[in-house]
Structure 1
């Protein structure tokens, strides 16, 4: 082959998507091969530019795909007893690994997502009866019973009945009201199974409300100005049954769950800084998202750089919709600047203009850079006070806003604008995740959609009412959830919004306790809530029992409630994080670490810490990690700021976020992962590793220890 082919082959061997030279049957024309302008699967590769000293590649690209199988991650060596398959895109795999993928209909390269014209098949003999053997330059032992057999795929047939809209549109419409109709959301068999499971779940679909006083008794003739009560909410468990369509061996058991369908818009940064590995991993993560959305879910993708464009309308992820979505994602190429505001504007417009609406709606935003079009000053400097300008006004959550679509933001790498990304998520009611290591992006997306695909409660509002005529509300400590105190302190409410299956919320209520002259107990509060069941499409009203405390004449030694103390520690740690970040932004890193150290000491003296409470241990480990990320101004700028902001987002919303280089539930900081999140992340990791034996099991922190799950 000519020099062009050798250069392209080198680049492809290093896990890069690039143009591939045309292959001619005539050997005399080898030197005349030109670079193809397209992959067969429609993937538009990222260009590779050779420098004066060869290809300039990051350390993460230095490993050749010809040395490591990207499916099982085992080394491919000469003579190790395993056959090697090399695809036409030049990526190599263990034959047994890739043949298993092809057996189940996966015809895309796991690395570059190029669609293969030739696929590997297993054959019991080294000399296949049909097809042709493809032997590359990697040797294997002679006793290997598998041979690399290739079957050429037939060209795609034209389908005159195909009514899907073409992928490439001449121009975007002025109004994005071309969303695909919701149609029949379940076929009759699935609907029967889902309805039966849902009916059989009975009271399990209702939220559970519990209240805990900080101490069970107060002396009769004593009073308290600030008495703490914990209100604990536990969302219903999703109703699951076996999914008969999930029979692929080696992957985790996937459940068929009746759930609320989702409208999802992903706003993806494809600026020049995303070129290479970042874009390849982003594509892989989006493929995972597409494959895990159901036919009732709808997806649209916005890609932005200097400008933003909609790849395809809001479309159901049926078989045809998935094909179009995969084609659109594979076509992405990185170039240009970073216009986050324009990407979000179009994402919001899709949600605003849609004709029909699924029960759940959300936007996912990923960026690795800083907006260079909206919040930069004329001299190129950044004005962080203007970060709110990145989010369209219609998406600013509040009492007067009827458009409440949460934006879950993902800061990718060490150069993204963590302050802006956190601000966008906080204003809209979403979460902010920090993806420090490139390889974690798919797991981070998996954790997010694992929650979105399990919403069981919509528009939840919690109400608190004082029972005793002399009891009044002093404060509501609810994190980022909007709250209000009404009727001269006699009533209060908290806007909780949506809850995922099995998700928990804890709010601390401060009230006064009056003296009692004769009553043996005092009735403090009555808690109730109202929410929408997204599956039954009906409003649900629930109330709890009245919270009472004992009022004896003399109280012996009393112990503070572990449940209350645990949540006081969580809020204490969250407040310390915010205070430390404010100090660090002013350059006072020593003061910031001192604030975190003081909080750690207070945690260790708490009742829950002495009881070896796992959440308390998690908070201490998290605060220690934040101290280490404030070792210098450079470390803080590159990772410390984003790590702290992601932690603040997680604790203020009581929802799991990706932080640093892992979403692994064995990490102590992931106390908010729900079972649906765990299952989706486990599926993601099993997909990446290929082999169940090498899969990391992801569990909430309380699942791996002997201590009970925190309430």
Structure 2
């Protein structure tokens, strides 16, 4: 059967990958000669060993989702013939690279595929065909141990001259056919202290003049510029606005901007990134292929000072490789390990996170920035149990205790819920507990864009451990409350001081906090409060202190006509819209979908009548569009369960941390998902869309950015 299909494919010249699996019981029906004609090693594309037929190499591009499965691009197929899908390197003649053509007709660098097989993966990385013959190396002393060819062409590196070209896989008894081959064969250490040493840039960092480095900008806006002398006022609003400094072009990516130079690496803080990836059985097929593509993009965009470790989990979790720097060799090893993944088993999120946290905890050395990325398309069935009495599951049991310990420098877990079957409540809870964000990836094709947005931020951290202090100046002024979302804040017992724990800021990120105060009667200009902040520069490791200007208001004898600050009104609208989303979600969880829709509709009406709404403020327009989208996703129980809950939770995560998340279909330019995007995020998304455009065509993201001239302006 297999020979018939192969001959038909060559005769028709079809530009697609056709694979007809043969039953393992048919093993004896195919001769060794036949097998060796299907799997061969070629050197420099000038000669093919063991194969009398010059098969056409048909390598499709990374699959993109369509309604009928995977759609392959003809142009992509032609270009990918010259690219190894494991290391993404070229396969050109005359470069001294041995090539391996598998029995399914796909070709790879011999070094790449032999390393891939070393991890225990015996299926084609492109078409998932199960191989009966695999390539592997052997020491020089065992050239003929298996009766195979010895490869040592003139231009092949001498230290790689000895290898066994093919090895036949052992026959699997039909009784055990349902058991998968183990994905990994090497045992894990008990302590993950085998992380690769980081580069020391202490000398280079000192060469960066601190005076030339921009600092965080602080602005304040009182609700009104004047209050009559005879009036006291409670709940007087003051907006505190923070903006992180701009990232230089060198900060956008550690690799593309002269990544080998020390200077480019010291222009931003290097990252320790641990990705925890779901490879359960439900990830098989398109999902796993797209995940591998997305991870390939992440690997290619990390710099040589950044370190990466990958945890794969299904029924249990396994570390693919230790925390290692993304040099050329490190990237190649990471790509090979990621491409070796196969999907099978259940979903044990807790075990994956425990192992990811252990990689972080056991590090011998630490890069300034560290984060965990978690992606899953299912629900944890090993730790979380749903009780019959309707009690809320204990989602905190999924989060490692080290993350919940409240350490000074918390490690955020950025979670990504993939598809409509994931547990959005669990993923949101994990993110909230660790100061991370939750993204909802509804469309399979945008997973790479979602990862790109995340690492675009992580590769541009300019401030860490930021704390914002608020001090009252006039003896009669008291702090009432601080609206800080998910950021921890506190007001002193006497109401004279307040503190907000902000944590990390990405380049160009903005934070808004609405402070309410009590203003006493006064006969003269009233000094209300002063804002200060301090943070650590992750590049120089120096503490930076900033002081904002004093907030004062005039105290005329008689009331004067004046307009509320549009900046304060805009922020109040955002906070109240987020509160309405939380209230609507609570109603929907009770089953009161009509009440939830009514809450959102009411908030939209108030929004349209506000000062900022009437002025055509683009933030208000974006909030209205988001509230309307949530209404549509709550139209019935089925729609809410499929996507409404995840969409609302991702929106709440974005607003509570004032940080961009992927929500639903990220290519929708009218969505508020772009509100908190920074230039480095936009740049990384555009790279992702340029490399792997959406099947609907690339659509550059539109990012409304905050401007205090009364409008949101697109950049």
- TM-score greater than 0.5 by the shorter chain: yes
Q: CA deviation at 1:661?
A: 1.3
Instruction: Find 2:460's aligned residue among 454, 458, 479.
Output: 454
Instruction: Find 1:688's aligned residue among 677, 692, 698.
Output: 692
Look up the match of 1:469: 475
Look up the match of 1:69: 75
Instruction: Find 1:605's aligned residue among 583, 604, 609.
Output: 609
CA distance in 2, matches of 1:470, 1:600: 37
**Alpha-carbon distance change, 157 to 501 in structure 1, aligned in 2, over 3 angstroms:** farther
* 1:424-471: CA deviation from partner (whole Å, max 9, x where unpaired): 000000000000000000000000000000000000000011111111
* 1:490-518: CA deviation from partner (whole Å, max 9, x where unpaired): 111000000000100000000000001x3
Contact (CA 8 Å) 2:64, 2:72: kept in 1 or not?
no
Residue 231 of structure 2 is aligned to residue 227 of structure 1: no
Contact (CA 8 Å) 1:8, 1:20: kept in 2 or not?
no
Look up the match of 2:108: 116
Contact (CA 8 Å) 2:674, 2:701: kept in 1 or not?
no
Residue 324 of structure 2 is aligned to residue 332 of structure 1: no
**Alpha-carbon distance change, 230 to 65 in structure 1, aligned in 2, over 3 angstroms:** closer
Residue 462 of structure 2 is aligned to residue 444 of structure 1: no
Contact (CA 8 Å) 1:273, 1:369: kept in 2 or not?
yes
* 1:383-423: CA deviation from partner (whole Å, max 9, x where unpaired): 6431111001211264xx34610000000000000000000
**Alpha-carbon distance change, 333 to 89 in structure 1, aligned in 2, over 3 angstroms:** farther
Look up the match of 1:562: 566
**Alpha-carbon distance change, 494 to 689 in structure 1, aligned in 2, over 3 angstroms:** same
* 1:234-281: CA deviation from partner (whole Å, max 9, x where unpaired): 111123359998599xxxxxx988100000000000000000000000
Contact (CA 8 Å) 2:39, 2:100: kept in 1 or not?
no
Look up the match of 1:370: 379
Look up the match of 2:169: none
**Alpha-carbon distance change, 680 to 32 in structure 1, aligned in 2, over 3 angstroms:** closer
CA distance in 2, matches of 1:624, 1:108: 54
CA distance in 2, matches of 1:708, 1:422: 28
* 1:66-108: CA deviation from partner (whole Å, max 9, x where unpaired): 564348xxxxxxxxxxxx57849999xxxxxx999x99x9x99
SS of 2:549's partner is coil
Instruction: Find 1:698's aligned residue among 701, 705, 708.
Output: 701
Contact (CA 8 Å) 2:254, 2:303: kept in 1 or not?
no
Look up the match of 1:170: 186
* 1:579-604: CA deviation from partner (whole Å, max 9, x where unpaired): 00000011111000000000000100
Look up the match of 2:270: 261
Residue 394 of structure 2 is aligned to residue 386 of structure 1: yes
Residue 427 of structure 2 is aligned to residue 421 of structure 1: yes
Contact (CA 8 Å) 1:451, 1:500: kept in 2 or not?
yes
**Alpha-carbon distance change, 171 to 67 in structure 1, aligned in 2, over 3 angstroms:** closer
Contact (CA 8 Å) 1:212, 1:229: kept in 2 or not?
yes
Instruction: Find 1:526's aligned residue among 499, 524, 530.
Output: 530
Residue 434 of structure 2 is aligned to residue 431 of structure 1: no
Q: CA deviation at 1:354?
A: 0.5
Contact (CA 8 Å) 1:362, 1:406: kept in 2 or not?
yes
SS of 2:75's partner is coil
Contact (CA 8 Å) 1:275, 1:334: kept in 2 or not?
yes
SS of 1:116's partner is strand
CA distance in 2, matches of 1:378, 1:39: 59
Look up the match of 2:634: 630
Q: How many residues matched?
A: 612
CA distance in 2, matches of 1:556, 1:308: 67
**Alpha-carbon distance change, 621 to 282 in structure 1, aligned in 2, over 3 angstroms:** same
What pairs up with 1:528-543 in 2 under 5 angstroms?
528-543=532-547
Contact (CA 8 Å) 1:619, 1:669: kept in 2 or not?
no
CA distance in 1, matches of 2:219, 2:17: 53
* 1:627-651: CA deviation from partner (whole Å, max 9, x where unpaired): 0001110110010000000000000
CA distance in 2, matches of 1:584, 1:448: 29
TM-score (norm 1): 0.77
What pairs up with 1:70-469 in 2 under 5 angstroms?
70=76, 84=78, 87=81, 116-117=108-109, 158=159, 170-185=186-201, 191=204, 198-199=208-209, 202=211, 204-241=213-250, 246=256, 258-377=267-386, 384-396=392-404, 398=406, 401-402=407-408, 404-469=410-475
CA distance in 1, matches of 2:15, 2:568: 56
Contact (CA 8 Å) 2:675, 2:704: kept in 1 or not?
yes
CA distance in 1, matches of 2:274, 2:19: 26
Contact (CA 8 Å) 2:255, 2:301: kept in 1 or not?
no
Contact (CA 8 Å) 2:64, 2:445: kept in 1 or not?
no
Contiguous gaps of at least 5 residues in structure 2:
24-29, 44-62, 111-152, 162-182, 259-263
CA distance in 2, matches of 1:338, 1:496: 33
Contact (CA 8 Å) 2:467, 2:500: kept in 1 or not?
yes
Q: CA deviation at 1:359?
A: 0.3
CA distance in 2, matches of 1:589, 1:433: 23
Contiguous gaps of at least 5 residues in structure 1:
22-26, 41-56, 72-83, 92-97, 119-151, 161-166, 249-254
* 1:44-77: CA deviation from partner (whole Å, max 9, x where unpaired): xxxxxxxxxxxxx998373665564348xxxxxx
Contact (CA 8 Å) 1:666, 1:701: kept in 2 or not?
no
CA distance in 2, matches of 1:708, 1:507: 18
What pairs up with 1:481-630 in 2 under 5 angstroms?
481-516=487-522, 518-519=523-524, 521-630=525-634
What pairs up with 1:656-671 in 2 under 5 angstroms?
656-662=660-666, 667-671=671-675
> After alignment, is 559-568 or 234-243 more displaced?
234-243
SS of 1:171's partner is coil
Look up the match of 2:2: 2
CA distance in 1, matches of 2:109, 2:409: 46
